[in-house]
């Protein structure tokens, strides 16, 4: 059982993360689940209710026991690292307000993570994906909508949430879009003629009014389009094309980055276009490009 005071503290911490750090709703939900899971373990571990006094007494041994328990129930190193990050954030915030020493929690090291490379599509596969997505709906305007969204992901490097947040006020699409990304960070993204045409074709066929204050992309009933219909259209297309399960909407964004890099694009410029806060995040695409070159080399020079 978690005390009312601790429940209230968690709520205020989540409000702080939303207001000051711009945390998205899904991020806040994940934070809450991670911290509640941690507190639930501590309650069972010590056989006592968790209040402000109890969590202030957490030791290094307690932290090790929690991490061992999480790994023992099959939690991946990446998921555990995320949970630990949420717990540390909560403890750091709470310790400043309650005046206790959080070193035992903050000094806990996250498990080592194996770098996870993006899984982009090559240019031919990305083009075939676009062509095949168009065939997944019998409704011409829905087909045009799905093509327009996927074109924005591949042609502009948008996240699907960013594409779906566009409104009628941005029509007709200009040559450069101002996009508000993660944490409210804004960036300017060039819009290719192919992307502008795809959106224009969709708008021409869409039966719903394109008012400035309404979402640009609509569901069949006229409401705001969610990510699931686009994910489903791509799932059906990739099965027809024999592409792996990694051929998702986000893979089109990865493809945008790797294709630019392959064409000689500057890493700093790609960072700006993607809206990455850190260059190290963008540098993962250099590893992808190197891996692709090694595959080509291996095919051209097979081992004896």
Let me know if 285 is a catalytic residue. yes
- Of 218, 253, 254, 259, which is the active-site residue? 253
What string of H, E and C letters represents the secondary structure of 226-280? Answer: CHHHHHHHHHHHHHHHCCCCCCCHHHHHHHHHHHHHHCCCCHHHHHHHHCCCCHH
Residue 282's alpha-carbon distances to 68, 209, 272, in angstroms, are 32, 38, 9
What string of H, E and C letters represents the secondary structure of 31-74? Answer: HHHHHHHHHHHHHHHHCCCECHHHHHCCCHHHHHHHHHHHHHCC
Let me know if 202 is a catalytic residue. no
What are 45's two structure tokens? 């571990």
Let me know if 185 is a catalytic residue. no
Helix, strand or coil, per DSSP, at residue 22: coil
Let me know if 303 is a catalytic residue. no
Let me know if 182 is a catalytic residue. yes
- Of 45, 88, 128, 182, which is the active-site residue? 182
Cα distance between residue 217 and residue 178, in whole Å = 17
- Of 31, 91, 145, 159, which is the active-site residue? 159
Q: For residue 89, give the nearest of 37, 21, 42, 40 by alpha carbon.
A: 21
Let me know if 78 is a catalytic residue. no
Q: Which residues pair with 224 in a beta bridge?
A: 218
Cα distance between residue 19 and residue 13, in whole Å = 10
- Of 18, 45, 82, 250, which is the active-site residue? 250
- Of 31, 91, 202, 285, which is the active-site residue? 285
Residue position matching structure tokens 């409104």 = 167
Q: For residue 146, give the nearest of 155, 157, 137 by alpha carbon.
A: 137
- Of 145, 238, 254, 276, which is the active-site residue? 276
Cα distance between residue 157 and residue 233, in whole Å = 19
Cα distance between residue 231 and residue 150, in whole Å = 10
Question: CB–CB of 206/225 below 8 Å?
Answer: no
Q: Which residues contact 106 (CB under 8 A, 6 or more apart)?
A: 88, 91, 92
Known catalytic residues are 159, 182, 250, 253, 276, 285
């Amino acid at each position: 059982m978690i005390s009312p005071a601790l429940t209230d503290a968690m709520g205020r911490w989540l409000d702080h993360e939303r207001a000051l750090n711009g945390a998205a709703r899904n991020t806040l939900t994940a934070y809450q689940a991670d911290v509640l899971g941690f507190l639930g373990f501590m309650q069972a571990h010590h056989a006592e209710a968790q209040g402000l006094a109890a969590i202030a007494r957490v030791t290094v041994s307690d932290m090790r026991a929690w991490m061992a328990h999480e790994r023992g129930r099959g939690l991946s190193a990446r998921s555990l690292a995320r949970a630990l990050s949420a717990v540390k954030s909560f403890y750091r915030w709470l310790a400043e307000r309650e005046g206790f020493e959080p070193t035992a929690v903050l000094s806990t090291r996250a498990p080592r993570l194996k770098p996870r490379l993006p899984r982009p599509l090559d240019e031919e596969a990305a083009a075939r994906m676009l062509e095949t997505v168009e065939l997944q709906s019998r409704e011409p305007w829905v087909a045009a909508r799905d093509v327009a969204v996927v074109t924005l992901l591949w042609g502009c490097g948008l996240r699907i949430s960013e594409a779906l947040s566009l409104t009628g006020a941005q029509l007709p699409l200009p040559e450069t879009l101002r996009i508000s990304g993660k944490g409210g960070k804004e960036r300017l993204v060039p819009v290719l003629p192919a992307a502008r045409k795809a959106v224009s074709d969709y708008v021409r066929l869409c039966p719903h009014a394109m008012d400035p204050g309404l979402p640009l992309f609509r569901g069949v009933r006229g409401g705001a389009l969610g990510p699931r219909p686009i994910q489903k259209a791509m799932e059906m297309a990739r099965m027809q094309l024999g592409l792996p399960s990694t051929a998702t909407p986000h893979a089109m964004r990865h493809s945008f980055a790797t294709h630019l890099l392959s064409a000689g694009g500057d890493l700093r410029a790609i960072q700006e276009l993607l809206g990455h806060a850190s260059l190290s995040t963008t540098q993962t695409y250099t590893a992808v490009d190197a891996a692709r070159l090694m595959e080509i080399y291996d095919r051209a020079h097979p081992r004896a």
